[in-house]
């Protein structure tokens, strides 16, 4: 499989366990996501090792700062050679356009996606920081803004994927966490979808952590998910 759709979230605290987990997976079947915890602990050296092992890496640091700083951070992610990076859409138009601009014209530039509204925020939380309307209204508005700024896509829940696919068109990448095979516990995820439902709703890439990383045989769990998607 040349374009694996599963992105395994390496939510572990240090390099040793991340590399041990990666060694039990297969770059032909999945990509890897390195988030704030692991990156803060293990840094670019770990990302380089994962890339050398043949994995494409989603550097999930959700940049949100002034345009100049975010543009420089995106350029650094591109230099590192990651496949995907993300920013917060709430950083606004100028910030997203600066990020886009920083990657323009680079060979093999990372795909740039935006987080819209964090799924941990409900309507009351959003209203408290001045975002009125339903979470869905906010997600849609921010996704459209990200698309207008030339970003490649957004991170969204599988349940929003169908709406965003309709509203933002084909080719706009939808990256969805909160995915659980039917036989797995939801853990702390509240609004889950099965891999098949997520893809059916229009998701391009599925971010999956614990159902794979905590499985007794991570590669077997990954294979089952890939088979479910392929059906
Ligand atoms: O273990 P699990 O499959 O729940 O991991 C999901 C991954 O996706 C975690 O790294 C989590 O931080 C991330 N994520 C999420 N919900 C979002 C954005 C990111 O679960 N809205």
198 CB contacts (<8 Å, ≥6 apart)?
158, 161, 176, 179, 206
| CATH code for the domain of 78 | 3.20.20.70
The CA–CA distances, whole Å, from 92 to 11, 48, 114, 137, 221 equal: 28, 30, 10, 16, 38
Whether 1 maps to a domain, the answer reads no
Indicate the top mutation candidate among 7, 8, 9 to test ligand 1's pocket, ranked by most ligand atoms within 8 A of CB. 9
| Ligand 1 atom index nearest CA of 119 | 21
Indicate the top mutation candidate among 121, 180, 209, 221 to test ligand 1's pocket, ranked by most ligand atoms within 8 A of CB. 209
pLDDT at 1 over 70: no
This prediction has a pTM of: 0.97
Dump pLDDT digits (tens) for 186-224.
998 888 899 999 999 999 999 999 999 999 999 999 999
Chain-wide mean pLDDT for the chain? 96
Whether 146 maps to a domain, the answer reads yes
Whether 33 maps to a domain, the answer reads yes
pLDDT at 123 over 50: yes
Strands 205-208 vs 6-9: parallel, antiparallel or unpaired: parallel
Whether 18 maps to a domain, the answer reads yes
Whether 87 maps to a domain, the answer reads yes
Number of domains in the chain: 1
Q: Strand pairing partners for 215?
A: none
Domain that holds residue 204: 6-230
Dump pLDDT digits (tens) for 64-101.
999 999 999 999 999 999 999 999 999 999 999 999 99
């Amino acid at each position: 499989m040349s374009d694996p759709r599963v992105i395994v979230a390496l939510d572990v605290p240090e390099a040793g366990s991340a590399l041990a987990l990666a060694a039990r997976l297969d770059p032909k079947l999945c990509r890897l996501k390195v988030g704030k915890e692991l990156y803060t602990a293990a840094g670019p050296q770990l990302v380089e090792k994962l890339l050398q092992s043949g994995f494409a890496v989603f550097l999930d640091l959700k940049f949100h700062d002034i345009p100049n700083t975010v543009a420089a951070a995106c350029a650094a992610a591109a230099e590192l050679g990651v496949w995907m990076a993300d920013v917060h859409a709430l950083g606004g138009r100028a910030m997203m356009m600066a990020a886009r601009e920083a990657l323009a014209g680079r060979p093999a530039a990372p795909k740039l996606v935006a987080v819209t509204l964090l799924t941990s925020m409900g309507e009351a939380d959003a209203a408290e920081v001045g975002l009125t309307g339903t979470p869905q209204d906010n997600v849609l508005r921010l996704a459209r803004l990200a698309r207008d700024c030339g970003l490649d896509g957004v991170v969204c829940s599988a349940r929003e994927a169908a709406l965003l696919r309709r509203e933002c068109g084909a080719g706009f990448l939808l990256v969805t966490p909160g995915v659980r095979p039917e036989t797995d516990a939801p853990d702390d995820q509240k609004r889950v979808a099965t891999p098949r439902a997520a893809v059916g709703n229009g998701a391009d890439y599925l971010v999956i952590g614990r159902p794979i990383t905590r499985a007794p045989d991570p590669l077997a769990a990954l294979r089952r998910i890939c088979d479910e998607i392929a059906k």
